[in-house]
Amino acid sequence: MSVRVLVLRSAGTNNDFETVQAFELAGAQAERLHVQALTEGKRRLSEFQILAIPGGFSYGDDLGAGTVLANQLRANLREDLETFVQEGNQVIGICNGFQILVRLGLLPVPGGDKAVSLVENVSGHFESRWIRLRVDTDSSPILKKGEVLEMPVAHKEGRLVVASDEIFDELIKNDQVAFRYTDAEGTEGDPGYPANPNGSISSIAGIQSPCGKVLGMMPHPERHLRSLHHPEWTRRKALGTVSNDDWKQGDGFVIFKRMVEKALELQGAT
């Protein structure tokens, strides 16, 4: 059995090669495809078990972050996307991909109305830094509540806002907050800037669909595939906190590895 991954790209996408590598290191067969291959019917979403929408600046974000690609997908592939999720397949949107999933309406509830937005950072400028994430969901098929992961962010429009207090309450009630920003001490609540790099409500760094199969996150797991990608890797190795074997797996890699493992598990069950 093998897991086939579609890494979707358009003009302006710039993290597609790294995302392909991440899934290939995890044992999957990953393929970069331009969105037109799907909209023109040359390829089918149903050929794949995982859809990844990577980071970058799709179509230059000229009409807003992720707007053009989201509109393309909504106009041409909305039913296919909803069927893809309904059949138990996994979707991940990273940074610009998260913005696209939100604008498209696959998050927070597939097929629902747009309920959340990702808007300009409180700082008013592009944030590029390493941050810590704490997993805050019990219902994800790939995440473990309480684990802390480190990876970089690189965005100007990553501040999550909600349309109403009722929607925020639903996100909490449905256990849809996948990640929250935290600091070195693992502080509960908002750790403040720069640990929360964009000012997201309740320090939210990523959300998932109620079933957990659709995940959107602003940080970049594909940029921490190996321990040596971390800026403090040599210091950690000197202190003995990273072994000679640990260089093979960075915090971001575990996300891709678990997605592939879950897809294989689902294949074995059918």
Confidence of residue 35 (pLDDT cuts 50, 70, 90): very high
Kindly report the CA angle at 135 between 217 and 208, in degrees rounded to 5? 45
Say whether pLDDT at 244 is over 70. no
Mean pLDDT of 208-236: 93
Quick one: 240 exposed, middle or buried, by C-beta within 10 A (0-12, 13-18, 19+)? Answer: exposed
Catalytic residue among 155, 157, 222, 230: 222
Confidence of residue 109 (pLDDT cuts 50, 70, 90): confident
Domain ranges across the chain:
4-269
The CB-side HSE value for 47 (13 A sphere, CA atoms) comes to 14
Query: 3-class DSSP state for residue 141?
Result: coil
32-41, 92-101, 247-256: lowest mean pLDDT where?
247-256
- Decide if 151 contacts 252 (C-beta within 8 A): yes
Confidence of residue 240 (pLDDT cuts 50, 70, 90): confident
Query: 3-class DSSP state for residue 203?
Result: helix
What are the C-alpha distances in Å from 146 to residues 143, 233, 257? 9, 23, 18
| pLDDT recorded at residue 63 | 84
| Cis amide linkage into residue 194, ω under 30° from 0 | yes
Confidence of residue 70 (pLDDT cuts 50, 70, 90): very high
| pLDDT recorded at residue 246 | 66
Identify the helix (H) or strand (E) that includes residue 206: strand 204-208
> Measured between alpha carbons, how far is 69 from 254 in angstroms, rounded to an integer?
28
> Measured between alpha carbons, how far is 91 from 75 in angstroms, rounded to an integer?
19
The pLDDT tens digits for 145-197 are 999 999 999 999 999 999 999 999 999 999 999 999 999 877 778 899 999 99
24 is known as an active-site residue:
no
47 is known as an active-site residue:
no
> Measured between alpha carbons, how far is 188 from 190 in angstroms, rounded to an integer?
7
The pLDDT tens digits for 10-22 are 999 999 999 999 9
Catalytic residue among 18, 127, 157, 220: 220
Confidence of residue 64 (pLDDT cuts 50, 70, 90): confident
Catalytic residue among 95, 224, 229, 230: 95
CATH superfamily membership of 4-269? Class I glutamine amidotransferase (GATase) domain (3.40.50.880)
Residue 92's CB is within 10 A of a number of other CB atoms, namely 29
The CB-side HSE value for 190 (13 A sphere, CA atoms) comes to 11
21-35, 82-96, 107-121, 191-205: lowest mean pLDDT where?
107-121
The pLDDT tens digits for 37-49 are 999 999 999 999 9
211 is known as an active-site residue:
no
